[in-house]
Amino acid sequence: MNSPLSLGREKASKLRRPLLTPEGVKLNLELAHRGDRAGAFAVDSAIIGLALVLMSLLGSLIWSDPDAGYARTVMQLFFFLLLNFYFMLFELKWSGVTPGKRVFGMRVIDRGGGQLTADAIVVRNFMRQVEVFIPLSVILAPEMLWPGATGWAKAVAILWALGCMLLPLFNKDHLRIGDLVAGTTVVLSPKTVLMPDLEATRQVRGSYNIGGMTPAQQEASPATNKKGYIFAAEHLSHYGVYELQVLEDFLRKDEEIGRYEAVETISGKIQRKIGWKPPAGHKVNHSRFLQDFYSAQRALLEEKMLFGKKREDKFSPKQ
Amino acid sequence: MSQASSTLRSYAFRSEREPHWLELEELVERVSKKGVSVLSASELARLPVLYRSALSSLSVARSISLDKNLVEYLESLCARSYLCVYGNKRHLREALSSFFVISLPRAVRELKWPLLISAGCMLLGLITAYLLVSQDSDFFYTFVPNEYAGGRTPAASTEFLRSALYDNDHDASHLSEFAGFLFSHNARIGMMAFALGFVFGIPVIYLMFTNGLTLGAFLALYGDRDLGLELWAWLLPHGVTELFAVILCGAGGLALANALVFPGRHRRLQNLAIGGRVAGTAVLGAVIMLFIAGLIEGVFRQTVTSVPWRWAVVAATSTFWLYYFVWVGRGGQHE
């Protein structure tokens, strides 16, 4: 992994974090982005705010005298529960998801790979006191918390409060204090669609008629057989896994615009690089060439991998 | 060699296992939308089996297949089913009973040393204020903020101080409001004391100490007028529960600070997570205790003024908490 290309790949996987399941298989999960987490928090806060307003309106409708003791008690408890236990209750009930997190497709998991336990959820949400409530009151109303504070003391307190609030910006795992203390982290809910195997599409393709040859000609041609183009060992010794998967990505894309030109360019490049020549008088069907090359290259690399020789990319030494 | 026409090993592997993956995907999809309860008994039994087989497929695919989409799909399928299988999905009643019978008393026992330190800080504040105010009653104003004293100052008459203890001209609706206010106020302070442990515990010690100061100042004031015992009888019915809960919150904060500063045999972050969960359990218990204390304070204290009854409640609550935290949940299965 010391080629120039691998640098780019590492960058792409910077947000991936390994997670060891209790069965001992390592899974790679993608950390939630900071912006998404802030967004989810904003959505949840908006829901809380809305609920508070609605409850107040409802209260003034139900009780003719909203200042009566019992009405105020109910309201007070409701406000308290909503402000302090909203996140906790949702995360307990929906196993690590709140409405805001659901909107952004994220969830809380145990950092060590174990079960997300109730105590972890409780702790990560208690810490919101130092992350949200205290910093907000320090910044908005420092007199309430600490009457008669001098100017520099206020400045220090505000800096400290901001530090607590913005901790996710300062660590590469995007952890907030609650995550640190509870041993949790927030990841994107994974979702990949299983696409048909390229090998399967190749095998079911209807006609074997390649490049306008009759079946007899095809059979006789050294460069093709009944199933398509064939490659010799020296043709397949140029590329590694990375290039193979780039080709896979390309073949799986189904955009139409400029497709034909792209296929032709890539096919031509590969042919030049591996030194493969079509039989004389044969016009190459570029799309099929790519499919067949992909298949042959994959077969070879997979076979070598079974023997423990994985060739990362074209810069790796030939085996 | 490398005959493209020969069926790829990884392709054969995929066609053999694919139906199981799709079955698992369908189950996981339904669970993540509507919860585990939508699965029938047989589907529920099938879920972990399929999950493990998908994990094994993933391991195999990683070593034999170079189909990127396939490996990524399996990884995401496994991750989703992992979240499904290991997500927090215990039945609420079961979770509650295990919290009250096992986790909470155990967490409190684990916090033995932080509890002693936290109580010590409070006691130190109490003694300091008591001695200082006994010598010079002007110190009272230093330790007790004016709005908190509510007229109960050294300048007040003994009669006024006494009436504050037996004042019962509240109607019922005021009482519940008062209880609600006390609970939410105290619980917020308690949670704050815990969370402040993250900044190395110094604010926690300060909070405990100043709490002790206020208490000590009142004790000295009432003791000076020979109302000491009656003050205790007024304070302790809810105070046993409330003070213990406050000390527990402080202990949680100190345990957090301890885990952060002295990581011991684990790495710092890991240790913080271990210590944090124990402390957090104790603090959740403390919040519940504060709720009980709020009820006693807001309702019982304002309606019952007979001193023997007040002492009876003191005895009952202290016996209960002592029994609960010392004996409940010992032995039994370890989780």
The per-residue pLDDT for range A151-173, each reduced to its tens digit, is 777 787 788 788 888 888 888 88
Contacts of A19 in chain B (CB under 8 A): 79
Identify which of B187, B208, B197 has the alpha carbon closest to the alpha carbon of residue B284.
Answer: B187
Rg (CA), chain B: 29
Contact B191/A at CB under 8 A:
yes
Which residues in A lie closer than 8 A to residue B96 (C-beta atoms)? none
pLDDT at A143: 66
Residue A277's SS3 state is coil
Q: What's residue B52's pLDDT?
A: 93
Asked if A305 and B177 come within 8 Å (Cβ–Cβ), the reply is no
Touching B: A residues 140-159, CB under 8 Å: none
Q: What's the rounded Cα separation, in Å, for the pair A270 and A266?
A: 6
What's the rounded mean pLDDT across residues B249-271?
A: 85
Answer whether B274 sits within 8 Å of A121, measured CB to CB: no
> Are A27 and B78 within 8 A, CB to CB?
yes
CB contact under 8 A, A199 and B11: yes
In this structure, the number of other CB atoms found within 10 A of the CB of residue A157 comes to 18
Q: Which CB contacts under 8 angstroms, 24+ apart, belong to A252-257?
A: A252/A195, A252/A198, A252/B69
The pTM score is 0.74
pLDDT one-digit tens code per residue, B213-253: 988 888 888 888 888 888 888 888 888 998 999 999 999 99
Interchain CB distance below 8 Å, B180 and A249 = no
CA angle A243, A249, A255 (to 5 degrees): 135
Task: Provide the 8-state DSSP code for A107.
Answer: E
CB contact under 8 A, B80 and A190: yes
- Which residues 252-281 of B have a C-beta within 8 angstroms of A? 256, 269-270, 272-274, 276-281
Q: Which of A96, A121, A190 sits opposite B76 (nearest CB)?
A: A190
- Chains A, B: CB contacts under 8 A, how many? 241
Q: What residues 36-55 of chain A have any CB closer than 8 A to a CB of chain B?
A: none
Q: Quote the strand ranges of A157-264, DSSP E.
A: 184-188, 224-225, 228-229
pLDDT per residue of chain A (319 residues) written in tens, 0 to 9: 344 444 445 445 678 888 888 888 888 888 888 899 999 999 999 999 999 999 888 877 776 665 566 677 777 788 888 888 899 888 888 878 899 998 998 989 888 877 788 888 888 888 888 788 878 877 777 666 566 667 777 787 788 788 888 888 888 888 888 898 888 999 888 777 888 888 777 766 543 444 444 555 544 444 444 457 878 888 888 888 888 888 888 888 776 777 788 888 888 888 888 888 877 777 788 888 888 888 888 888 888 888 888 888 888 777 6
Q: Residue window 5-34, chain B: list those with CB within 8 Å of chain A.
A: 5-11, 14-15, 18, 21-22, 25, 32
Cβ contact (<8 Å) for B21 and A194? yes
Distances (CA, A) of A2 to A8, A313, A314, B184, B323: 11, 10, 12, 58, 64
**Does residue B284 belong to the interface with chain A, where contact is any CB pair within 8 Å?**
yes
Strand partners, A31: A187
Residue with the bigger pLDDT between B69 and A157: it is B69
- The residue of chain A with its CA nearest to that of B174 is A69
- Per-residue pLDDT at B263 exceeds 90: no
Give the start-to-end residue ranges of the domains of chain A: 13-188, 198-306
Nearest CB to A301; choose among B5, B66, B196: B66
- Which residue of A70, A111, A198 is in closest CB contact with B176? A70
Nearest chain B residue to A182, by CA: B273
pLDDT value of residue B1: 38
For residue B95, is pLDDT > 80?
no
B109: CB partners within 8 A, 6+ apart: B325, B326
Better pLDDT: B119 or B90: B119
A226 touches chain B (CB under 8 A): yes
Inter-chain touch B103–A226, beta carbons under 8 Å: no
Distances (CA, A) of B220 to A184, B126, B135, B138, B232: 47, 10, 9, 12, 12
Amino acid A145: pLDDT: 59
**ipTM rounded to 2 decimals:** 0.76
**CB spacing of B9 vs A306 below 8 angstroms:** yes
Give B129 or B162, the one with higher predicted confidence. Answer: B129
Number of residues that this document lists for chain A: 319
Cβ–Cβ gap A298/B87 under 8 Å = no
Strands A184-188 and A224-225: unpaired
Read off φ and ψ for residue A211, nearest 5 degrees. 55, 35
pLDDT digits (tens, 9 = 90+) for B302-332: 777 788 888 888 899 999 999 999 888 776 5
Contact state of B6 with A299 under an 8 Å Cβ cutoff:
yes
* pLDDT for residue B116 is more than 70: yes
Q: How far is A209 from chain B (nearest CA, A)?
A: 16
Question: What are the tokens at B84?
Answer: 């499904």
Burial label, A3 (beta-carbon count in 10 A; 0-12, 13-18, 19+): middle
- What is the tens place of the pLDDT at every residue in B134-143? 888 888 888 8
The number of beta carbons lying within 10 Å of the beta carbon of residue A13 is 10
Q: Return the HEC string of chain B.
A: CCCCCCCCHHHHHHHHHHHHHHHHHHHHHHHHHHCHHHCCHHHHHHHHHHHHHHHHHHHHHHHHCCCHHHHHHHHHHHHHHHHHHHCCCCCHHHHHHHHHHHHHHHHHHHCHHHHHHHHHHHHHHHHHHHHHHHHCCCHHHHHCCHHHHCCCCCCCCHHHHHHHHHCCCCCHHHHHHHHHHHHHHHHHHHHHHHHHHHHCCHHHHHHHHHHHHHHHHHHHHHHHCCCHHHHHHHHHHHHHHHHHHHHHHHHHHHHHHHHHHCCCCCCHHHHHHHHHHHHHHHHHHHHHHHHHHHHHHHHHHHHCCCHHHHHHHHHHHHHHHHHHHHHCCCCCCCC
With cut-offs at 50, 70 and 90, classify the pLDDT of residue B98: confident
Q: B229 to chain A nearest CA, in Å?
A: 32
Residue in A192, A199, A231 nearest the CB of B76: A192
Say if A260 is an interface residue toward chain B (CB within 8 Å): no
Q: Which residue has the higher pLDDT, B113 or A117?
A: B113
